[in-house]
Structure 1
């Protein structure tokens, strides 16, 4: 695993967040940090009892995306804007929804080449 994973968008490289306990902790907003700390400490206690660091790494992996979004709020803004655009324009480039079958197949356009 790399010490830092690069978060990229169409607009270039964003703030990097180390995929480590201290890296995630530093990037999180203060209101989310306390929850991370509690989970991280529980995982450390488990690691101490079981001599297994997998639980600690799982906590870091689970919280890393939230840390990236906290460090790069513009990414969340882009996601939200994309969702709004998708909700406003439910049609495809072909001018109709393609995810649902036509309710009356006899009214549907015939296939190309038929």
Structure 2
């Protein structure tokens, strides 16, 4: 694992010299590991965000956005790796956003109005 400091941001990325046996979603997880850990319904959005950030990195020669996108999706994959915990967190987030008890689909409710 390598750490890169870009301005005030620190980014970690994965390379092949890591010892075997680490958690596949540890910091610096590979894009393939993140993609595989996401629920099927999130994979297309990950692929689109990753492709966009990768394209920009190739154009700008700046990896900051790419690392940010990977870390965002890695964290979502970790959260969603425990469905019951994720459901409770989403339910609580929905309740905090609306000041009302959560609906039957708290994850959808929490994402429906992200600016609230």
TM-score of the superposition, structure 1-length normalised? 0.52
2:99 aligned with 1:65: no
User: Which digits, 9 at most, give the CA deviation of each residue in 1:52-76, with x for residues without a partner?
Assistant: 1111101012212211122221321
Say what the alpha-carbon RMSD is for the aligned residues: 2.9
5+ residue gaps, structure 1, are 4-14, 89-114
Cα 1:33–1:80, aligned 2, differ >3 Å: closer, same or farther?
closer
Which structure exhibits the higher relative contact order, with contacts defined as CA atoms closer than 8 Å and separated by 6 or more residues?
1
SS in 2 for 1:66: helix
Report the number of matched residues: 76
The structure number with the bigger radius of gyration is 1
Question: In structure 2, what is the Cα distance between the partners aligned to 1:43 and 1:71?
Answer: 24
2:23 aligned with 1:18: no
Alignment map for 1:1-114 (pairs within 5 Å): 1=12, 17-19=25-27, 20=29, 21-79=31-89
Question: In structure 2, what is the Cα distance between the partners aligned to 1:24 and 1:51?
Answer: 23
5+ residue gaps, structure 2, are 1-11, 15-22, 102-116
TM-score of the superposition, structure 2-length normalised? 0.51
